[in-house]
Chains A and B, each alone.
Chain A
């Protein structure tokens, strides 16, 4: 087994981590060079994607369905263990894929929005954010999750604040995210603390075995407190309604490339963490059957599908509209996750992938409008289909995906979600999903009508199409979502295996 294959799980965190640090070192030696900083980040992000794809193939080929890596050869539960199964591998692919596509996109957008002497620093923080998100996903150690969560959060605050050049509200949005995000992460830390007190271990798999071996597991009040702290902390991190208040401002005022990266990875990794904590550590039996947490989550998810989608309809800033729609889509993921049957969880995991591709592509398209126009007010989209047909074409297909139009990826995930609701006998939730889709039709149609069926104003006569790197990455994400809407066998297969693995290997 070659060096790279053996160390694959840790390399895919180390490469962007060191790559980020080197970006600043190089920048301070040769001085600020925009294209050098961008080219370096692009190379690092694509190498990371290659490593992640190799990791995915290794996991699929592994006979027991997961790959274990011991940091420094210290075996778990004493050392830090990286454990990659189908679920991690799939989420890793989402994070690294979005990272690679948005880095390609970032060239013009970042050159436009970030001061020239800050590019090396920007790409450093950018790569560190990707490293943090990949690290959370790959690790099998709860405290490691907390540390890497803070790495990705701190870098996100810095990235969002860099939008201050265009709008000073980015600073306020970043500070609000910092305060809420730190409280959320602290709650997660307290939850991990109570689990450590009970079990004496930090390793996820070991923790689960020690928890279910407790004689009074189901009634133990310390377990309950740990569960409550973790649930609230994770809900803040994944922006589950009503703890989503940090998200719309942060995504609206961040630089365009940052909005796309965070919108399609940060909250998804939050949902992934919820899967890990609820299923791998506490186990399905405790999280779903013993506690009423299940119905609380379903209620929050149903409200998350309805309320933010309603709020999205009356937004006048397109980035803000998409941000509210993201909060609504998190509702679908949490719903499938809380249904706790294979179809629902498959829907949830597939939607992680599909929504990342669709919403990422849409944020990139809006970023192209901001690049050309400097604004993204709903009125600015009047007749834009005639001025920037390629950008708007991608935006429109992404919008149809959000609605869940057949032949788009959104349809596949909603299909499984509805199937899960029916299998669980929860018919009201089917209605909620349908109403959520109708609300999405309203805000998507509001934009599509303005883009394609109105005449462009004279003031935009010299508006040109977005630069090629922007178009390529936007269309890459949108075509991914269309491809996996038609040929869903890869995504659905991965998600089904991940869901079955979670349900079968733990109690």
Chain B
């Protein structure tokens, strides 16, 4: 039985290996902001979608980092005690965050898939995936209405 699941406590989260832990948290913000920059600054729709992917990847790193326990191993590493009962081989990382992020990865992949499907359709409808060119087409076609 998984102890961390049975006893939700702050303890396992606070034992984050100090140096490696903080390093990861800085990195997650950097990754997120690179992705965010891509979404805002790039005119190419595929580059925007990739930025969105990077943005989510930063969050995955954040969740995985918070599950780390100092000296912890994989939660599937078992051994038996004197009475031949199963017990964990040592301290193990909190598996809850890994499970959560597995779900979030699926969500992120589906979002990117929908985004790509939309971009393919936009390419078919407008003949371009450059935002400024689409804007020019729409301004000519529906003057004064804005792009969407």
Contacts and interface: CB of A to CB of B under 8 A. Distances in A.
Nearest to A149: B107
A78 B39 contact: no
A201 interface: yes
Contacts of A154: 107, 110-111, 114
Contact of A193 (B6, B8, B55, B63): B63
Given A178-B118, A193-B66, A172 B147 contact: yes
B104 A189 contact: yes
Nearest to B48: A179
A189 B10 CA distance: 19
Contacts, number: 100
Interface string B81-100: 00000000000000011001
Contact of B39 (A157, A171, A183, A250): A183
A199 B59 contact: no
A193 B5 contact: no
Contact of A178 (B55, B114, B126, B148): B114
A154 B138 CA distance: 25
A478 B56 CA distance: 42
A206 interface: yes
Contacts of B6: 78
Binding site secondary structure of chain B: helix
Interface in B60-92: 62-63, 66
A182 interface: yes
B75 to A, nearest CB: 15
Given A78-B5, A161-B121, A178-B115, A197 B59 contact: no
B100 A143 contact: yes
Contact of B45 (A78, A175, A183): A175
A53 interface: no
A270 to B, nearest CB: 18
A150 B59 contact: no
B18 interface: no
B67 to A, nearest CB: 10
Contacts of A143: 100, 103
Interface residues of B, number: 41
Interface string A456-485: 000000000000000000000000000000
Given A77-B8, A182-B52, A171 B121 contact: yes
A269 B117 CA distance: 27
A171 B12 CA distance: 46
A158 B8 CA distance: 38
A308 B134 CA distance: 26
A277 B63 CA distance: 20
A284 interface: no
Interface of A: 77-78, 143, 146-147, 150, 154, 157-158, 161, 164, 168-169, 171-176, 178-179, 182-183, 186, 189-190, 193, 196-201, 206, 248-250, 252-253, 316-317
Given A172-B148, A183-B39, A249-B147, 8 more contacts: A147-B103, A157-B118, A172-B122, A182-B55, A186-B55, A186-B59, A190-B59, A193-B62
Interface of B: 5-6, 8-10, 12-13, 36, 39, 45, 48-49, 52, 55-56, 59, 62-63, 66, 96-97, 100, 103-104, 107, 110-111, 114-115, 118-119, 121-122, 125-126, 134, 138, 142, 145, 147-148
10 contacts: A143-B100, A158-B114, A169-B142, A171-B125, A172-B122, A176-B148, A178-B114, A183-B55, A190-B62, A249-B147
